[in-house]
Structure 1
């Protein structure tokens, strides 16, 4: 039996890499989802605690015989350490380097965490509603929803239309209600203030009213 030309050139290594990547992504999703369910059943006191449980879901406890490699330095007094190296802290905030448009939530988080607060608003608006919806379609994880609302509050009156579009995009992501449920009281307060700003868009009053109910806000 002859072997076709396509079969001769089939890239099994590439197939294996893609399979491993898919398995890794599936394991990560299952692991984080189990951590979320576990945190809900434990009735954690705050969203910060909930987020820490989820983000640490990949960690495993040390077993007898395990060794910690490398030198471990514990900054026992972090505030004192910052005073000793104020210039380093300042440089890390200002020398951020150029940002790039992320293709998924992991890439987004890496960019988001390296940005100063005043740069985050422009990062969101430059990506735009449609791209943000695609990135976070599975869910807005890592406790980011509250961060987004606080940042969007910094927008000007002239940019309220794009803020409204972004809020609508977030509301269409999966598990949105769960993300909103675990926001802190400060973040929910920022959400209310943000919708108060949106009231200036008289021509969008129906959209805003509908979106208020999605964000669990009373008129």
Structure 2
């Protein structure tokens, strides 16, 4: 005796299939939302970080995968970062010759220098630089450089003929400092133009030409 078999029309979709499609759709929506959330987080991180290492730390904290240095460089050129720099950039402050009670020249090593630099405002940093012996500062910068120091200097120093010798030594120390290339990567167009103007004012001898090469303002010979 042949059993009766009920057939389901092809036009009817099983309830399990509908549930599966619904879950798949929700996963795609969630994935898209996650992508844009992570993208926004990366943009925020790249405007706040003062070094590539700090950027990676911010990204890791947000449970995001760190981007490559190539991606990092490309993101710096985006509109969001340019707008951030436009707001953050202020006119350079003149380096005053007087000392501050809050600033001590009794800095024994690079660790102490970086720690003191980080706790001071721009004026205090300028005073610290002026008080420190140039040779001692040079040694400190070979070991460690404060994050974003190259950009900070554009808000601290201002060229005057009286400071020419001091500025030459400072810039020579900076171009030979640890992570100079990384600091240079973080300069925006206005900050790079600042250094171009300063170096033009310092003359055109071999020392200045070398500095311009290191800043990427002229091609290396």
Task: Provide the TM-score with structure 2 as the length reference.
Answer: 0.50
Displaced runs of 4 or more, over 4 A: 42-47, 58-62
Task: Report how many aligned residue pairs link the two structures.
Answer: 141
User: In the alignment, which residue of structure 2 is the partner of 1:185?
Assistant: 189
Partner of 1:209: 209
Q: Which runs of 5+ in 1 are unaligned?
A: 1-41, 63-94
- Cα separation, 1, equivalents of 2:211 and 2:168: 9
Compute the TM-score of the two structures, normalised by the length of structure 1: 0.51
Unaligned stretches of 5+ in structure 2? 1-41, 63-99
Query: C-alpha displacement at 1:137, in angstroms?
Result: 1.0
Question: Partner of 2:76 in structure 1?
Answer: none
* 1:28 counterpart residue number: none
Look at both structures and tell me which one has the larger radius of gyration over its CA atoms: 2
The reply on whether 1:138 has 2:143 as its aligned counterpart is: yes
**Closer, same or farther: CA 175–162 of 1 in aligned 2, 3 Å:** same
Post-superposition offset of 1:103: 2.7
Query: 126-135 or 208-217, which moves further after superposition?
Result: 126-135
Change (3 A) 1:167 1:131: same
1:103 equivalent in alignment to 2:121: no
Change (3 A) 1:112 1:138: closer
For 1:43 and 1:164, the matched residues in 2 are separated by 36
Shift of 1:109: 3.1
Where do 1:27-176 residues align within 5 Å? 46=46, 48-51=48-51, 54=54, 57=57, 97-152=102-157, 154-176=158-180
* Distance change (3 Å), C-alpha of 1:211 and 1:59: closer
C-alpha contact (below 8 Å) 2:105/2:132 kept by paired residues = no
Contact 1:147–1:187 (8 Å) recurs in 2: no
SS at match of 1:150: coil
SS at match of 1:179: helix
Change (3 A) 1:214 1:51: closer
CA spacing shift, 1:195–1:57, aligned 2, 3 Å: same
